[in-house]
Amino acid sequence: MTQQADLVIRNGQVVDGSGQAAFEADVAIRDGRIIAVGPALVVQAAEEIDAAGQLVTPGFVDIHTHYDGQVTWSNSVTPSSRHGVTTVLMGNCGVGFAPCKAGDRQRLVSLMEGVEDLPEVVLTTGLPWTWESFPDYLDQLEQREYDADIATQIPHAALRVFAMGERAVTREAASAEDRACMAQLAAQAINAGALGFATSRTINHRASDGTPIFTLDAAEEELIAIGRALRDSGRGVLQLVSDFTDIDTELAMLRRIAEQTERPLSLTVMQWHNAPDKWRTVLDWVEDCQRDGLPVKAQVSGRPVGILMGFEASFNPFSYTPTFKSLLALAPEERRAALRDPAVRAHIIEETPEPSDFPGEMLLRSWDLMYPLGEQPDYEPDATQRVSAIAARRGISPAACAYDLMLEQDGQAVLMLPVVNFADGTLNAALDMLRHPHSLYGLGDGGAHLGFLCDASLPTHLLTYWARDRNKGERLALPEVIRGLTHDTADAVGLNDRGLLRPGYRADINIIDFEALTLLPPRIQYDLPANGRRVHQDANGYTATLVNGQVVQRNGQATGLFPGRLVRGPQQIAKSPV
């Protein structure tokens, strides 16, 4: 008997998310679910896509994003949805917008502006603020449609402010009453559909006025009280970022939290340049936890993380010079024209930057640490590509060289200033982290750091660089990369209805021309509320991306379909249709 389907993908090289090698097969879809995977399926469908010679993979599941604001005003979860991502998890690092009393809105906006580089005017213009409680926030999101599924975590900073008011901002210790309130609110959020709870313990996270994030030194009993609320609810994950300044004390506390809460915990792990071997200590600790039955994982990145600097980005080596600051009122095209003027160039290069309140100001002129990213982005450049080295070859000053490099690509070229994962000038540490049996691909930060970063393109980088192009060391096997982008991340947060191409699973699927897959250079776009700016990065080679069985991207172009929805709570696969 011939099966009936809505869509069949024919003749593709299926990499199904399990880690097994590619195999040629058809994939049949009905009612948003996969109904069959196999060679030469006898299926009658309303539409067929010939994927001969192309990869067919599950849609990517990105568990570290900050689209908490964007999804309240936009149907497009870009740039992530342009890189094969079909599910995003928001609310990471303890920042977000719910729960929130009306009088606390500015506090959360200021925190998000400072931590994630989301301008206040964008947030105050875009956020509808139709909620107070976390369930109200989810109800608002459930009314909207998207080009990817969205899921949430409850952010610790918002939770703390809701329970403690100004005492949260000044980082007072939570009382027993405060802890009980936060636990009750966390349970309410989990029961309404949040996938977990997230917090931050890094001094790098500050509000726009310089105030450290309100959760920086939250006491162990506060974190355990919230975590136990998740334990008692029977679901939910924990996510955390920390500086690990006193690494032994911090890890001992996190182990006790994992033991007391009995919930899966993931934490950010990077190669910190000021302590380039600390990541090994953290991963050894993760292994010890796993050996003792504690579900602890590391979230890691596959490339340097830092600052992208350009004349239209939030930062560049001349951001605080008087002449450059005088050009900021110009429209982008006018500013580019002015920057090409030899007299303007001479003034800016020679001027001494004025003092600023940006804590990383000194880094912006570290010529030995920055590299041109290039028209074909190179995230593992060698020492000969440092701005200082290029300047020496050209016989000009590093400042003049940096200026000229940023004028390339019609004035939109960027310089990469790595601050983690590149301490020894290679990505070998990142390779070890990616390969670790208890690591998760993460840290893309889609929807955040809008003026100086676009790591939402990490899925494409992992595919093109790690599984195909790297020639400066070992690569990763393609099935391993696909599994890391799909099954492993979905499984880690309880989304067990996606991440594999199997009957009964969601029809979230990518069709990829792997040989043609190309990551394009970052570009500034002005497409946020109040004409807000963000760094955007596109890719070529995604033939089609399907969400819930519907094509949302075809050959790099949006189709205008928005089948993505809010995901409430953990998910299981549906019974395969007959």
Residue type, 270: M
For 202, the 3-state DSSP assignment is coil
Same domain assignment for residues 235 and 121: yes
- The 10s digit of each residue's pLDDT in 521-549 is 999 999 999 999 999 999 999 999 999 99
Question: Beta-strand (E) ranges in 140-243?
Answer: 149-151, 153-155, 196-201, 237-242
Tokens 């000194």 identify what position? 362
Continuous segment of H or E residues that includes residue 344 = helix 342-350
Q: Which of 371, 387, 419 is the last residue of a domain?
A: 419
Query: Does residue 187 lie within any of the structural domains?
Result: yes
Q: What is the per-residue pLDDT for 117?
A: 87
Residue 538: HSE in the Cβ half-sphere, 13 Å Cα cutoff: 10
The count of other CB atoms within 10 Å of the CB of residue 367 is 18
Q: Write the CATH number for 528.
A: 2.30.40.10
The conformation of residue 10, written as its DSSP 8-state character, comes to E
Identify the domain containing residue 53 by its residue range: 3-58+505-558
Same domain assignment for residues 204 and 339: no
**pLDDT, tens digit only, all 578 positions of the chain:** 688 999 999 999 999 999 999 999 999 999 999 999 999 999 999 999 999 999 999 999 999 999 999 999 999 999 999 999 999 999 999 999 999 999 999 999 999 999 988 899 999 999 999 999 999 999 999 999 999 999 999 999 999 999 999 999 999 999 999 999 999 999 999 999 999 999 999 999 999 999 999 999 999 999 999 999 999 999 999 999 999 999 999 999 999 999 999 999 999 999 999 999 999 999 999 999 999 999 999 999 999 999 999 999 999 999 999 999 999 999 999 999 999 999 999 999 999 999 887 777 889 999 999 999 999 999 999 999 999 999 999 999 999 999 999 999 999 999 999 999 999 999 999 999 999 999 999 999 999 999 999 999 999 999 999 999 999 999 999 999 999 999 999 999 999 999 999 999 999 999 999 999 999 999 999 999 999 999 999 999 999 999 999 999 999 999 999 999 999 999 998 764 43
Same domain assignment for residues 122 and 226: yes
Calculate what percentage of the chain has a pLDDT beyond 70.
99
pTM of the model: 0.97
Residue 508: HSE in the Cβ half-sphere, 13 Å Cα cutoff: 33
> Total structural domains in the chain?
3
Same domain assignment for residues 167 and 230: yes
- The 10s digit of each residue's pLDDT in 407-440 is 999 999 999 999 999 999 999 999 999 999 999 9
Query: Does residue 288 lie within any of the structural domains?
Result: no
- The 10s digit of each residue's pLDDT in 462-518 is 999 999 999 999 999 999 999 999 999 999 999 999 999 999 999 999 999 999 999
Question: What secondary structure does DSSP assign to 274-343, as a single string?
Answer: TBTTHHHHHHHHHHHHHHTT--EEEEE-SS-EEEEE-SSSS--TTTTSHHHHHTTTS-HHHHHHHHTSHH
Q: What is the per-residue pLDDT for 402?
A: 98
The conformation of residue 468, written as its DSSP 8-state character, comes to I
Query: Does residue 236 lie within any of the structural domains?
Result: yes
Specify which residues 545 forms β-bridges with. 510, 553
Same domain assignment for residues 255 and 338: no
Query: Does residue 462 lie within any of the structural domains?
Result: no
Q: What is the per-residue pLDDT for 359?
A: 74
3-state helix, strand, coil in the chain (%, to 5): 35, 25, 40
The count of other CB atoms within 10 Å of the CB of residue 328 is 8
Continuous segment of H or E residues that includes residue 55 = strand 55-58
Asked whether 185 and 178 are in contact (CB, 8 A), the reply is no
Nearest to 435 by CA among 477, 465, 406: 477
Same domain assignment for residues 42 and 108: no
Query: Does residue 475 lie within any of the structural domains?
Result: no
Query: Does residue 456 lie within any of the structural domains?
Result: no
Query: Does residue 172 lie within any of the structural domains?
Result: yes
